Chains A and B, each alone.
Chain A
């Protein structure tokens, strides 16, 4: 069973309680009407599909019902860290520290 630490519940909980919610830190354009279709489509659909350290959103839907962010290695499927919504993307040095 894969355990995920919810930063709000502050507990490791079974994966079945969570729902994946795509790549994190994608900022919604402030004025979509000024964008052309290509740029808008890129914002909507184009993602990095990173191999390795990936920043992503998760939703503790069957728990505290909160979205939060996680750093996960897509090769090993290991969660490196999770953090509350609204916090900045952790720097590489922070991630390296946790990995050790």
Chain B
């Protein structure tokens, strides 16, 4: 697929064909593919966080498992020295300049992983149940509140999970795993899976 916005050819189907549901236009039972995004993996020493925050003007969350959501830009703290930044394409150039400055000032690693991942939005009343068909974490609101994020698994596929709202989750997955993941999503939004999760009354 050719990105109209950047002119870059995105071969999402590297070696594997995406299931027909995997297009941005269609949505199956509360799961939809997110438009093209800019993604950066940031690694730097945790003790530099205040200085990096000041130099980059990025809203870097202070705790592991927390995120900041501002406009079209998400920053997730995944580990002691690891942050993931996801942004809409309009900020691509500005971010590039920010990171050029950063890497000249700090011992850090900044890697553009925009096309390594695909993002899904899982939303609606059933979002928690859909995710819990494959993810072992307790996703109740008091345990996994809005803004919480983490790397975890969904049906043995590694994903990054972020709760954007009570009934809205952002799921990041490596591109080559996306068809597998989307097929599991498809299965879990069917009646059968919902009944198994106790989300619906069996007639």
Contacts and interface: CB of A to CB of B under 8 A. Distances in A.
A11 interface: yes
- Determine the interface band of chain A, counting residues with CB < 8 A from chain B: 10 to 19
Interface string B91-117: 000000000000000000000000000
Interface in B173-197: none
A49 B82 CA distance: 34
Contacts, number: 40
A64 B82 contact: yes
Contacts of A1: 136
Interface of B (DSSP majority class)? strand
Nearest to B160: A62
Contacts of B158: 62
What DSSP secondary structure best describes chain A's contact surface? loop
A8 interface: yes
Contacts of A10: 64
Interface in B32-82: 64-65, 78-80, 82
A82 to B, nearest CB: 15
B169 to A, nearest CB: 17
Band of interface residues on B: 10 to 19
Contacts of B150: 9, 63
Nearest to A65: B79
B80 A8 contact: yes
A13 B79 contact: no
Contacts of A13: 137, 152
B146 interface: no
B80 A62 contact: no
Interface in A10-30: 10-11, 13-14, 16-17
Given A8-B64, A9-B65, A64 B80 contact: yes
Interface of B: 64-65, 78-80, 82, 136-137, 150-153, 156, 158
Given A62-B151, A63-B151, A65-B78, 10 more contacts: A1-B136, A8-B79, A10-B64, A17-B136, A17-B152, A17-B153, A62-B153, A62-B158, A63-B150, A65-B79
